[in-house]
Structure 1
Amino acid sequence: MATKFYQHALALAFAVHEINQDPQILPNVTLGFHICDSYYDATMTYRSTLDLLFKSHQFSPNYKCDKQRNLIAVIGGLGAATSSHIAKLLDFYKIPQVGSDLEIFAQITNRDWRYLLLSISQMQCHELLKYCIPSFHCNLILANGLLTEIKATDIIYGSFDLQELKTTHYSSFYSMVPKESHQNIGIVHLLQYFGWIWVGIFAVDNNSGQHFLQSLEPLLHENGICAAYTKRLPYIARLDKMEEHIEICYSIYKQLKNDIHVVIIYGESLTIAALRFILTLGGIENEKLYFKKVWIMTAQLDFMLTGLLRGWDLQIFHGAIAFAIHSEDTPNFSEFLKTINPHWNKGDRFIQVFWEQAFDCFFPESWEQTEVMGQCTGKEKLEDIFKPLFEMSMTGHSYSVYNAVHSVARALHDMCSSQSNYNRGKYTSHTNKRGNTVKMQTLQAWQLHPLLQSISFNNSVGERVSFEHRMETGGKFDIINLETLPNNSFQRRKVGKVDPNAPQGEQFTIDESMLVWHPGFKQVPPFSLCNERCRPGCRKKKKEDQPFCCYDCILCPDGEISNSTDMDDCFRCPEDHYPSNGRNTCIPKNITFLSYKDPLGISLSAIAVSFVLITILVLQIFIKHKDTPIVKANNRNLSYILLISLLLCFLSPFLFLGQPEEVRCLLRQPTFGILFSVAVSCVLAKTMIVSLAFLATKPGSWMNKWAGRRLPYSIAVSSCLIQASICIAWLATSPPFPDVDMHSAHEEIILQCNEGSVTMFYCVLSYMGFLALASFIVAFLVRKLPDRFNEAKFITFSMLAFCSVWISFVPTYLSATGKAMVAVEIFSILTSGASLLGCIFFPKCYIIVLRPGLNNRKHLLRQF
């Protein structure tokens, strides 16, 4: 006998007692109950059902006789198979009823209390049924002169495998338990929460187990979870039949010894006891510490020991996580259990069997015998029984029985108290001599169906009970954590719930801090993976011929990252970020530009300022000695213009320093181009003057008319105007603008000026190069003229240096990025300007300042 299931019968008795004490439910009606046995056997289940349907003093199947029970509703079905057997019979028959007293009959196996059948007891039949039609479709029963057709209602409180019952379309079938699909979704959420993707599955080898696997396995696959193995546990109704499955038991034990830490178990009430038997058979007593598993158990299972197993501990299941039918602590139920004793109810034929097995004692044949060792005293207390044998708190199945009794009672109450007509059934009421209201002149049980379908009430703990979807009520599961105790008992911890009616994101909840784990785990929660997780910076690569949960880990390619474990693919960082060295995170790029505070910017600024000061010094020297021959030689005004243009050229790098802005970008390249064009144009004009002056000194030369004062200015102005025209066209068509370069530098965002039209930029450079090349050619041709201070030689060197700088500038500029690109251009400006300043003006300043004796007309013309 499974002593734990006696609580189901006591929950039934408690509910009946509670209803009888409530004047608001079925007043003037007293409820009672009767118990039968099904023996876990289909044949006995059919027989027990027929007993309740037809048996009074003798068993006459399909015949209604005097004082016959008349069933209206059935509450039962802890197992799906037995539920199906009883539903087949109850759906065939239509049962007559007449009377005022209500009785509740409960069919309860001596191993598993299963069925609660509600009936209306019949008063004395006025006429013995003389003729019955032996048909499974309809029984027309004449009783009390009334022709009635009443259809039984089956209310299941424990079965989850509703598929078979639904496919046969039993119209009388109702379920007090939530859908199994909600439990399966909860299992998937639990596995995902802890990252368990490599699990083992054990399912009982019957139709329920097959349906469970067919529902769960696709769901696991959809959510990236693999079943390392799937094994079928032998279905047994009695533990003494386990020896018939020894070979299967050994194979199951070998499978359990692998290193898969998470195992899902689906079965029925005796499955845990059978599994404990298998583990003992394999010698688990010597390996408890090393045999560490996280057992995930479904709601049909129960932590129970019975018979030969009662002395075995459940330490191996320490830390198990179980799904259970939602239950609450019903007020006064524990106090009700404390009143139970072997003599509490003379009609309870199971109490002595339960008492003997629960307390391991025996009752004497006569209480007059002398008390001996091991004899039951009747003073034992239920609260002293270990939980594997009996629990004082109401379990989920008992809670379902409790709600089922209340559902039927309230439906009957509504049926009896209604003044409306239900499908031609009329209800009238009158008052008897005692003042009690009497109803149900005609009461038909088929009217119970619409009432059950629409039933909705709050039970004693304030929870709403209703059949929301015709066949099921409720949808919540509790998540229970099992803590085994040294005294061979255990403690249930409610650590979470599965509620499909909760708001999105709250349908699955669990408090990880309340969980206890098997002591053999070094890390909690434990891992359950086919292989080590891929760390951030790597991605998964599927192994050939292996489940998708088994994979290799490879490093992310350059420029990509993975920022969490077990990523299928790497991804690129946003444009304003770059991958870390470990390729596991994105680091914001530094915003960069050549600023005044940058060391390179400071260096270039210092050089530019130095050249500006030197140019100003040279200009002062020339102004101070403006009347000396060396200053007046080769057009003094062009020298001033050249010095001023060089001064501005040395200042132009400051337009390139600092954060690029719209005005800076618009001005810097045109300014640089025009200023250098002015400088080179002046050099070209000075070169042309030297050349023309020498040719004009020859008598009869045609160059005499070109050697006037206007020629050099014409050359300088016309050359500058052409460059200015190019710059104006550039600004008008495609001007430069501030831009952001995300890609050139790996770790930097470069703020720069986009030149707009690259073609126009190189047109400016090309024209400036053309002027420099022309100056170089002319100066080179006249470099050997007989002049003591032949400026052509110096111009030749300056143009050579100038052209060399800008020829090398182009490839260097094109290959540079960011700060380097700006620095290259600034360096080229300063270097080319310095070459002009040094080569053309340094020799003259040397003579003016250090060799003033040479600065006279006589010395200047000595070579002619």
Structure 2
Amino acid sequence: MLAFRFAIEEINMNSNLLPNTSLGFDLYKIFYHEHLVLKNSVTWLSGLNENTPNYNCRKEHKSVAVLTGSFRAASFQFGTLLDLYKFPQLTFGPFDPVLSDKRQFSSLYQMASKDSPLALAMVSLMVHFSWNWVGLLISDDEKGFQFLSELRAEMKRNKICTEFVNLIAGPGLSSFKEVEMFQSNFIASSAKLVIIYADIDSSFNLIFNRWRHLFTQKIWLTTSRLDTSTTKKHFLFDSFHGTLVFSHRHGEISEFKTFTQTVNPSKYPDDIYLSWLWWMFYNCPVSESDCKILKNCSSQGSLELLPWYHFDVAMSEESHNIYNAVYAVAHALHEMLVQQVETQPLRDGSTGFPPWQLHPILKNVKFHNSAGHEVDMTQKEKVRSEVDILNFWNFPEGLHLKVKVGNFSPHFPPEDQLSLSENMIDWATGFSQTPHCVCSASCSPGFRKSPQEGKAACCFDCTPCPENEISNGTDMDHCMKCPDHQYANMERIHCIEKVVTFLALEDNLGKTLVCTALGFSVLTVVVLGIFIKHRDTPIVKANNRDLSYILLISLIFCFLCSLPYIGQPSTATCILQQTAFGVVFTVAVSTVLAKTVTVVLAFKATSPGRRMRWLLVSGAPNFIIPICTLIQVTFCGVWLGTSPPFVDTDAHSEHGHIITLCNKGSLTAFYCVLGYLGALALASFTVAFLARNLPDTFNEAKFLTFSMLVFCSVWITFLPVYHSAKGKVMVAVEIFSILASSAGLLGCIFAPKCYIILVRSEKNCVKGLRDRVDSRGKQAKFEDLKAL
């Protein structure tokens, strides 16, 4: 009311605006009951105490505009009635989307800005503090639904979740039972942040009273619409200390503060509210009939000395809207009078026009107020205004300091819209530092969010990233897999380049295998030297000297063919590994087969004229070696011609390493080569097993049988172990199988012979052999062996 009176007095003293014309006004009290609002509006229009629609007895003056306040029903009822007469109506309350419908309210103008910037500012603040878990208390009306829609859209875009949304009914519409149930649900909620969007005249007043001394430990975000004092009680109690209030920015009008300092009942004797305040706080006696001051005590006290919860001298947002509304009407009226003066002079200072003619001018008014802010009535949609962020300090109770801690400007780029002084914020009781208003604590790097079933997206568990996956930020939805040439560190934060490795000679395993291969090769050379040195002895002759030489030489190469597996692989070594292994082992196994066949033929050729004797004498078993070897060479040739081995990398077998190894190329060809060797070994084992019971003196079938048993056992064991091993271990398994099978042949076949040659030399003679011939008629066989 004082802002309204101040604006009119300021205009009347302005010689450049409405010169020689004074603005007057009438003040009417608006009741909350809608039928009384309509009744009073008809009374005002007719000018009579009795309601007389469509009749006006006012002859001395006419009203040109009506200003209606924050009570939505009043603006709605007035707007419906005044629109019939096209009477200008300006509302100074909060922006209401219903009243912006020009089809229903063509004569109504809203001075307030839309609340969209408030929603944007609140969400920006939540994003700034990384808050994502909030409760909403929203008025149960069109304004509340509009604000809720805009707020939810911004919250969804910024991944902010709501735990609850409670609608606050209008004044007197909520029962104590409903409020008690609402309070129970609210206190039990886990959300530390609560947004309030309601009018002070809503049922939230009842909630305030119940929460006056309740320690809620909540962070409150609200609008200036709740920053309204009452005559009996505080708005902000201890539970609401630290509330952050968002208000449309409006400049301070310095003259208004001076105006409020000089206001007293003697200056405005018709103002019963001023008389009441002076009677209440300064003990000024008043008349019981008209509540006017009886004694002159206007010099005592000032509005500035009154408690804030009874009177706040600062110009509120609605007061600022009233100020702009009065000036908008004044500018429109000034323009109208100028137009009339140009056409015809005025009579008796009257306006000389019906109020509806003011619309074309009023809707095009544009001016700057005393605070320097532009007021533009031409805009169909109100420009998004800047928002001030205030922090309420109410501790100790009743302090009521409003401290500006930041601002929000929707006209700036998104990263510069919010400006905040965090060190100036005094948080609510129970918070010594910036609170964490989240449903779940942030997942640190190395973890990912795992949604909790049945809960909002902001509620989640933190799950460690799987092996070889990382997350290098907080609250990551997914872990990122490292490339094949990299691996995740222990913390799963970043990827590290893998080390390229292979079964190198410098490794302990490589050195061991090389030394073993060379040792067995030297040992085989020694055995070969012993056999050559004692080549004329009966035991060397009796076991087919030539085949023994071939077998020993092939065993030397069998041990040496494991060396290409050690060291950095190349295309040449990869091809050499498989072909050398296949061919050399074929020679060795086929030689064993030839020796086994020779022994069988020697003991089966009992008659000089039989065909077996001819096969034995002609050396036919020796042809087994080139034939079997030629078949294996054919397999290797087909293998190399179709899908030869090549250098490959294994990035998964060993953590943190990329293993360079030889890929077999065609596994089918590899298993054909290996299977062919197995078939030869199985044939040798079978033949030797059948000949195991021949006389011991001339029979090495038992040794051949055991050697083939060892050979087959090694390679049968090799297959499952080879498939289960990875990386360098797989290569080492193949080398070990080569060395073990070769050592088995060397040890089982030649160790007994070397023992006789070197230790029991008395048995390595013709007499010794004759003495050991079986007495059951095997002399002819001895003669045959002697002839060989």
TM class by smaller structure = 0.7 to 0.9
Confirm whether residue 606 of structure 1 aligns to residue 520 of structure 2: no
Confirm whether residue 172 of structure 1 aligns to residue 94 of structure 2: no
**Structure 2 segments unaligned to the other structure (5+ residues):** 346-352, 774-781, 783-788
Structure 1 pair 580–852 and aligned structure 2 pair: CA distance change class (3 A): same
| Equivalent residue number for residue 81 of structure 1 | 73
Aligned 8 A contact 2:489 2:495 in 1: no
Q: Cα RMSD (Å) of the superposition?
A: 5.9
| Equivalent residue number for residue 358 of structure 2 | 445
Aligned 8 A contact 2:555 2:746 in 1: yes
Cα distance in 1, alignment partners of residues 266 and 555 from structure 2: 119
Structure 1 pair 676–64 and aligned structure 2 pair: CA distance change class (3 A): farther
Cα distance in 2, alignment partners of residues 721 and 81 from structure 1: 107
| Equivalent residue number for residue 121 of structure 1 | none
Cα distance in 1, alignment partners of residues 362 and 601 from structure 2: 124
Aligned 8 A contact 2:448 2:476 in 1: no
Q: Which moved more, 1:758-767 or 1:633-642?
A: 633-642
Confirm whether residue 321 of structure 1 aligns to residue 244 of structure 2: yes
Cα distance in 1, alignment partners of residues 451 and 671 from structure 2: 50
Q: Give secondary structure in 2 for the equivalent of 1:446.
A: helix
Cα distance in 2, alignment partners of residues 663 and 354 from structure 1: 109
Cα distance in 2, alignment partners of residues 430 and 732 from structure 1: 113
Structure 1 pair 247–779 and aligned structure 2 pair: CA distance change class (3 A): closer
Confirm whether residue 472 of structure 1 aligns to residue 382 of structure 2: yes
| Equivalent residue number for residue 348 of structure 2 | none
| Equivalent residue number for residue 430 of structure 2 | 520
Aligned 8 A contact 2:265 2:275 in 1: no
Q: CA deviation at 1:640?
A: 5.4
Structure 1 pair 830–215 and aligned structure 2 pair: CA distance change class (3 A): same
Q: CA deviation at 1:12?
A: 4.0
Confirm whether residue 380 of structure 1 aligns to residue 302 of structure 2: yes
Confirm whether residue 724 of structure 1 aligns to residue 630 of structure 2: no
Which string of whole-angstrom CA distances, capped at 9 and with x for unpartnered residues, describes residues 248-286 of structure 1?
Answer: 666666666655655544432345983476327xxx54x
Cα distance in 2, alignment partners of residues 263 and 448 from structure 1: 44
| Residue type at the aligned position of 2:246 | F
| Percent identical | 31
Cα distance in 1, alignment partners of residues 753 and 25 from structure 2: 132
Structure 1 pair 450–598 and aligned structure 2 pair: CA distance change class (3 A): farther
Q: For residues 402-801 of structure 1, what are the structure 2 equivalents within 5 Å?
A: 402=323, 404=325, 445-448=358-361, 451-452=364-365, 466=376, 470-474=380-384, 476-486=386-396, 488-495=398-405, 503=413, 515-520=425-430, 525=435, 542=453, 595-596=502-503, 602-603=508-509, 605-619=511-525, 622-623=528-529, 626-629=532-535, 633=541, 639=548, 642-656=551-565, 668-690=577-599, 699-702=608-611, 714-736=623-645, 755-782=664-691, 791-801=700-710
Q: CA deviation at 1:769?
A: 0.6
Q: For residues 389-400 of structure 1, what are the structure 2 equivalents within 5 Å?
A: 389-391=310-312, 393-400=314-321
| Equivalent residue number for residue 39 of structure 1 | 30
Cα distance in 2, alignment partners of residues 606 and 835 from structure 1: 18
| Equivalent residue number for residue 295 of structure 1 | 220
Q: Give secondary structure in 1 for the equivalent of 2:245.
A: strand
Aligned 8 A contact 2:266 2:298 in 1: no
| Equivalent residue number for residue 142 of structure 1 | none
Structure 1 pair 626–354 and aligned structure 2 pair: CA distance change class (3 A): farther
Which string of whole-angstrom CA distances, capped at 9 and with x for unpartnered residues, describes residues 729-765 of structure 1?
Answer: 2344344556677888999988765544433222121
Cα distance in 2, alignment partners of residues 449 and 611 from structure 1: 106
| Equivalent residue number for residue 233 of structure 2 | 309
**How many residues in Structure 1 have an aligned counterpart in Structure 2?**
751
Structure 1 pair 524–177 and aligned structure 2 pair: CA distance change class (3 A): same
| Residue type at the aligned position of 1:481 | N
Q: 1:161 aligns with which of 56, 73, 96?
A: 96
Q: Give secondary structure in 1 for the equivalent of 2:608.
A: coil
Aligned 8 A contact 1:46 1:86 in 2: yes
Structure 1 pair 580–629 and aligned structure 2 pair: CA distance change class (3 A): closer
Cα distance in 1, alignment partners of residues 203 and 237 from structure 2: 10
| Equivalent residue number for residue 135 of structure 2 | 199
Structure 1 pair 165–789 and aligned structure 2 pair: CA distance change class (3 A): same
Q: For residues 63-102 of structure 1, what are the structure 2 equivalents within 5 Å?
A: 63=56, 68-69=61-62, 71=64, 76-94=68-86
Which string of whole-angstrom CA distances, capped at 9 and with x for unpartnered residues, describes residues 766-786 of structure 1?
Answer: 101112122323444555666
Cα distance in 1, alignment partners of residues 757 and 372 from structure 2: 112
Confirm whether residue 332 of structure 1 aligns to residue 241 of structure 2: no
Structure 1 pair 215–744 and aligned structure 2 pair: CA distance change class (3 A): same
Cα distance in 2, alignment partners of residues 175 and 724 from structure 1: 99
Q: Give secondary structure in 1 for the equivalent of 2:93.
A: coil
Q: For residues 197-346 of structure 1, what are the structure 2 equivalents within 5 Å?
A: 197=133, 199=135, 201=137, 203=139, 225=161, 228=164, 230=166, 232-233=168-169, 235=171, 258=188, 262-271=193-202, 274-275=205-206, 278-279=209-210, 284-285=212-213, 288=214, 290-306=215-231, 308-309=232-233, 314-324=237-247, 326-330=248-252, 332=254, 336=258, 340-342=262-264
Which string of whole-angstrom CA distances, capped at 9 and with x for unpartnered residues, describes residues 669-722 of structure 1?
Answer: 444333322332333344445556677896334456656898576433332332
Structure 1 pair 526–630 and aligned structure 2 pair: CA distance change class (3 A): same
Q: Give secondary structure in 1 for the equivalent of 2:364.
A: helix
Q: CA deviation at 1:38?
A: 2.9
Cα distance in 2, alignment partners of residues 464 and 643 from structure 1: 108
Cα distance in 2, alignment partners of residues 78 and 31 from structure 1: 27
Cα distance in 1, alignment partners of residues 536 and 5 from structure 2: 128
Q: CA deviation at 1:726?
A: 1.9
| Equivalent residue number for residue 101 of structure 1 | none
Which string of whole-angstrom CA distances, capped at 9 and with x for unpartnered residues, describes residues 149-198 of structure 1?
Answer: xxx54443322332255285322333333434564566677678665647
| Equivalent residue number for residue 9 of structure 1 | 4
Cα distance in 2, alignment partners of residues 490 and 502 from structure 1: 32
Question: TM-score, length-normalised on structure 2?
Answer: 0.73
Which string of whole-angstrom CA distances, capped at 9 and with x for unpartnered residues, describes residues 180-229 of structure 1?
Answer: 4564566677678665647363636x665677779879998997855657
Q: CA deviation at 1:833?
A: 1.6
Aligned 8 A contact 1:661 1:738 in 2: yes
Cα distance in 2, alignment partners of residues 857 and 404 from structure 1: 138
Q: Give secondary structure in 1 for the equivalent of 2:392.
A: strand
Cα distance in 2, alignment partners of residues 468 and 650 from structure 1: 99
Q: Give secondary structure in 2 for the equivalent of 1:201.
A: strand
Q: CA deviation at 1:486?
A: 2.0
